[in-house]
């Protein structure tokens, strides 16, 4: 069974690129996308993914709060914070397992994150 991944990011262009990357990575499958934190929480409730990529900066509920709520309600889902900028200090209180800059997200990074934190 492939690792089911949900993408939570307010930028449609990034969601598309991330979905294509995930689907091109053996052993992984994009199973859902959300454009905001609240939608992401509902999607994780419905799909119970193994891995969730959450953008740090989104309007409304930011990535730190989204990750905190996800890890609280879905402790088996591995949450990874993503951003085009550096990690803010507040992210350490999110419950996310790690942080990846968007520009560093690639097939090897996805596999390494899962191997180190997920169970691969």
| All domains in the chain, ordered by first residue | 15-85+100-118 (3.40.50.2300)
Alpha-carbon distances of 118 from 39, 52, 58, rounded to whole Å: 23, 11, 25
Res 84: pLDDT: 86
What average pLDDT does the chain have? 91
Give the whole-angstrom CA distance, residue 74 versus residue 36: 18
Sheet of 98-101: strand order equals 28-34, 3-8, 51-55, 78-83, 98-101
**16-69 confidence digits (pLDDT tens):** 999 999 999 999 999 999 999 999 999 999 999 999 999 998 989 999 999 999
Radius of gyration, CA atoms only, the chain? 12
| Predicted structure pTM score | 0.93
């Amino acid at each position: 069974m492939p690792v089911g991944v949900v993408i939570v990011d307010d930028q449609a262009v990034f969601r598309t690129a991330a979905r294509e990357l995930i689907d091109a990575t053996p052993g992984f499958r994009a199973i859902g996308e959300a454009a905001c934190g609240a939608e992401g929480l509902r999607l994780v409730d419905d799909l119970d993914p193994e891995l969730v990529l959450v953008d740090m900066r989104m309007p409304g509920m930011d990535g730190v709060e989204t990750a905190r709520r996800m890890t609280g309600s879905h402790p088996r889902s591995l949450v990874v914070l993503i951003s085009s900028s550096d990690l803010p200090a507040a992210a350490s209180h999110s419950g996310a397992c790690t942080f990846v800059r968007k520009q560093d997200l690639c097939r090897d990074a996805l596999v390494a994150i899962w191997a180190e934190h997920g169970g691969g």
